[in-house]
């Protein structure tokens, strides 16, 4: 099963390395490997969250996400989106923007008579608004999870009080809006305050809109008597078979989520290389494909059902990433910190799940914190 799930990713890796070798020799190969590791480490929590949403979707929408969605992730977010940003920021046409990316001139005046910055600088300068949008979207996702009462809790001493506080209507919006205001007032550079505020609000609106539309068109689960199962309908983190319009909006939700995760990796990649072809090979073809395979593996193996704290750990990692993105608007945050925080939180949740399972097995039954989990979804 492992070979079947990861086989395509390994094949894409081999092809990408061959292309890198032909394109730039051994140095290009090394850079692709480094970028692939960077993307996988930064996006493991993304894979866990993808799996929690994907197991809600019908088989049709699962296949759409794993085919069309991965094309959008590879080409759209890792290659086309950065070029669009440079195109809009520089005023160059799309062809010149691509040429500037592939063949950066020794003298920027060749493209910018007024002495404007290069491709890499233009993309990096767009970081505040991108970080504000992605940070607020991810923060709303984290708050939506952590402020909701649930039978299974990981950090119970913290999660249970937060869930009780979450009974206050629109608390997530209040907290997110307050953090955005603090970010714009005390972290964002003075010349980016307005763009950070606008981008942050757009991030919140996008989450509320996509999440709300998913709830609107969601089909609740019914038991054998045709009665609606309590708690079976709701936002993207709850479990129900989503088809039709509900499936489409969950698909849209996953694409926005991937965008929020991926651009931070693209910005981090420029600390390693500014070559968009190398970045596309490392982050897109290899990294994104392995994130897809990890997502499929988690769903097929029922890992989230067996290790019930993984979902909690992933959401805490998302909360940490959201805060890091907001802080990075005004201060440089090393990409290693971003990756290690997520891996550490998910690793701690995984270990806690193992200890919980052993304790339950030793006791000969389920713990008080247990809840019935759905069976794994088969993805062909």
**Tell me: the pLDDT tens digits for 85-131?**
666 655 666 677 667 666 665 544 555 555 555 666 766 777 888 88
Contacts 24+ apart (CB under 8 A), 239-244: 239/55, 239/56, 239/374, 240/56, 241/56, 241/57, 241/58, 242/56, 242/57, 242/58, 242/61, 242/214, 242/218, 243/57, 243/58, 243/60, 243/61, 243/219, 244/217, 244/219
Which pLDDT score is estimated for 181? 95
**Tell me: the pLDDT tens digits for 229-256?**
444 433 444 444 556 677 787 888 788 8
> Which one is predicted more confidently, 258 or 328?
328
Q: Are 326 and 142 in contact (CB under 8 A)?
A: no
Q: Is the pLDDT of residue 225 over 60?
A: no
> Which one is predicted more confidently, 48 or 76?
48
Percent of the chain topping pLDDT 90: 16
Which pLDDT score is estimated for 221? 46
Which pLDDT score is estimated for 290? 85
**Tell me: the pLDDT tens digits for 2-47?**
778 888 888 989 999 999 999 888 988 888 888 888 777 777 777 8
The pTM assigned to this predicted structure is 0.74
**Tell me: the pLDDT tens digits for 141-194?**
899 889 988 888 898 899 999 999 988 888 999 999 999 999 999 999 988 899
**Tell me: the pLDDT tens digits for 300-355?**
887 878 888 988 988 898 888 889 889 988 888 876 777 778 888 888 999 999 99
Which pLDDT score is estimated for 380? 43
Which pLDDT score is estimated for 119? 62
Which pLDDT score is estimated for 89? 59
Of 54-58, 127-131, 258-262, the poorest mean pLDDT is in 258-262
């Amino acid at each position: 099963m492992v070979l079947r799930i990861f086989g395509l990713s390994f094949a894409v890796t081999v092809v990408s390395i061959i292309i890198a070798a032909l394109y730039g020799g051994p140095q290009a190969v090394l850079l692709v490997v480094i970028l692939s590791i960077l993307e996988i480490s930064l996006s493991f929590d993304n894979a866990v969250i993808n799996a929690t949403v994907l197991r809600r979707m019908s088989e049709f929408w699962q296949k759409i996400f794993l085919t069309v969605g991965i094309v959008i992730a590879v080409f759209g977010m890792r290659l086309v989106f950065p070029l669009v940003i440079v195109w809009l920021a520089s005023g160059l046409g799309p062809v010149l923007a691509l040429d500037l990316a592939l063949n950066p001139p020794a003298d920027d005046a060749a493209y910018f008579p007024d002495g404007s910055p290069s491709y890499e600088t233009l993309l990096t300068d767009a970081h505040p608004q991108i970080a504000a949008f992605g940070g607020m979207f991810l923060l709303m996702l984290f708050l939506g999870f952590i402020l909701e009462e649930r039978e299974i809790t990981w950090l119970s001493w913290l999660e249970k009080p937060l869930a009780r506080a979450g009974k206050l209507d629109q608390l997530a919006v209040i907290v997110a809006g307050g953090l955005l205001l603090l970010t714009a007032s005390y972290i964002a550079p003075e010349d980016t305050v307005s763009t950070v505020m606008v981008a942050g609000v757009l991030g919140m609106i996008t989450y509320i809109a996509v999440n709300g539309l998913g709830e609107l068109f969601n089909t609740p689960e019914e038991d054998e008597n045709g009665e609606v199962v309590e708690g079976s309908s709701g936002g993207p983190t709850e479990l129900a078979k989503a088809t039709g319009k509900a499936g489409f909006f969950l698909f849209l939700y996953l694409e926005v989520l991937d965008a929020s995760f991926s651009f931070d990796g693209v910005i981090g990649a420029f600390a390693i290389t500014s070559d968009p072809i190398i970045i596309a090979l490392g982050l897109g073809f290899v990294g994104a494909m392995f994130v897809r395979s990890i997502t499929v593996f988690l769903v097929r193996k029922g890992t989230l059902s067996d290790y019930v704290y993984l979902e909690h750990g992933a959401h805490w990692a998302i909360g940490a990433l959201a805060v890091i993105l907001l802080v990075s608007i005004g201060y440089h945050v090393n990409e290693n910190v971003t990756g290690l925080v997520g891996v550490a939180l998910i690793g701690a949740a995984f270990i806690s799940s193992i200890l919980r399972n052993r304790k339950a097995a030793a006791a000969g039954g389920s713990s008080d914190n247990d809840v019935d989990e759905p069976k794994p979804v088969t993805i062909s």
